[in-house]
């Protein structure tokens, strides 16, 4: 199977802090891949490197072509949507305005996309004129996902979608991610909760101090002693 996304020795720093020391990974088309690791391991920075929201060195290829060092918009136009940690919706704008912004990097009418989004998130139809900042945390997380979806991406980068959410909402969001994936969307997801991440993803990479320490099929990693001890707690 062809890799949709490939990172080769990707490095990134924040001033004197070297956050990534050379991360190499690949994400096959149609898969869900999880990025695990302790706080500060470099998970968020890896997603930022892919979406060009942090300066990086090293090679990134998407759909067989090298991704240049342009701005985040250039990466969005390639078909990569990034849902950052902390949701990143525009609090002052309505739900509908947030969704329209999601579609700004592409042409064509957005009515059909709105209809598809409301299939996944039926509450959005009734709440489309509500200010995003007045939504609950779970709703804002769903809106961030819906906004990314409006971009019609080929690859979705998701940073900690379960953060701060009640277990019921986590289950719902993960079900939606799975549904989107079954429709063909490829997903790279950063997740602190290794239990659910390894259930969701077919493959996972474990980062330690800015490097890939372990990787493999989720089923194998679940059995791996150091993963069980460090991340699964048994």
Q: How far is CA 204 from CA 105, 113, 200, in A?
A: 30, 30, 10
Please state, in angstroms and rounded to a whole number, the distance separating the CA atoms of residues 134 and 115. Answer: 23
Nearest approach, Cβ of residue 81 and ligand ATP (Å): 18
- Beta carbon nearer to ligand ATP, 40 or 88: 40
Q: How far apart are CA 119 and CA 113, in angstroms?
A: 10
User: How near is the Cβ of 71 to ligand ATP at its closest, in Å?
Assistant: 18
Provide the minimum distance between the beta carbon of 56 and ligand ATP in the complex, in angstroms, as a whole number: 12
Give the side-chain half-sphere CA count within 13 A for 115.
Answer: 4
Degrees, nearest 5: CA angle 189-194-200: 55
Q: What residue ranges bind ligand ATP (CB under 6 A)? A: 14, 17, 19, 37, 39-45, 192
What is the phi/psi pair of residue 87, to 5°? 75, -50
Complex with ligand ATP: residue 95 or 227, whichever CB lies closer: 227
Query: Nearest CA to 143 among 113, 180, 98, 179?
Result: 98
Closer to ligand ATP by Cβ: residue 117 or 188: 188
CB of 225 to ligand ATP, least distance (A): 22
How many of the other CB atoms lie within 10 Å of CB of 179?
Answer: 12
Contact 158, 190 (CB under 8 A): yes
Displacement of CA 33 from its chain's centroid (Å): 10
Nearer to ligand ATP, 180 or 190 (CB): 190
What is the distance between the alpha carbons of residues 67 and 78, in angstroms, rounded to a whole number? 9
Closer to ligand ATP by Cβ: residue 30 or 40? 40
Q: Least distance in Å: CB of 234 to ligand ATP?
A: 21
CA distance 171 to 123: 17
In whole angstroms, how close is the CB of 232 to ligand ATP at the nearest point? 17
Nearer to ligand ATP, 41 or 150 (CB): 41
């Amino acid at each position: 199977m062809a890799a949709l996304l490939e990172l080769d020795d990707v490095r990134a720093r924040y001033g004197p802090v070297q956050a990534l020391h050379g991360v190499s990974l690949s994400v096959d088309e149609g898969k869900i891949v999880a990025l695990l690791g302790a706080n500060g391991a470099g998970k968020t920075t890896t997603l930022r490197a892919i979406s060009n929201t942090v300066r990086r060195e090293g090679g990134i290829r998407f759909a067989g072509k090298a991704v240049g060092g342009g701005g985040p918009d250039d990466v969005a136009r390639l078909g990569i949507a990034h849902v950052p940690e902390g949701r990143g919706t525009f609090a002052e704008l309505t739900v509908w305005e947030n969704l329209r912004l999601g579609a700004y990097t592409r042409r064509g009418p957005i009515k059909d996309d709105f209809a598809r989004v409301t299939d996944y998130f039926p509450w959005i139809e009734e709440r489309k004129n509500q200010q995003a900042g007045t939504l609950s945390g779970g709703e804002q997380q769903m809106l961030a996902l819906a906004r990314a979806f409006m971009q019609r991406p080929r690859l979705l980068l998701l940073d900690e979608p379960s953060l701060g959410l009640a277990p019921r909402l986590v289950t719902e969001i993960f079900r939606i991610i799975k549904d989107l994936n079954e429709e063909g969307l490829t997903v790279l997801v950063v997740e602190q909760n290794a239990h659910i991440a390894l259930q969701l993803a077919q493959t996972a990479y474990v980062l330690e101090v800015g490097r890939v320490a372990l990787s493999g099929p989720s089923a194998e990693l679940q059995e791996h002693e150091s993963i069980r001890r460090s991340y699964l707690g048994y």
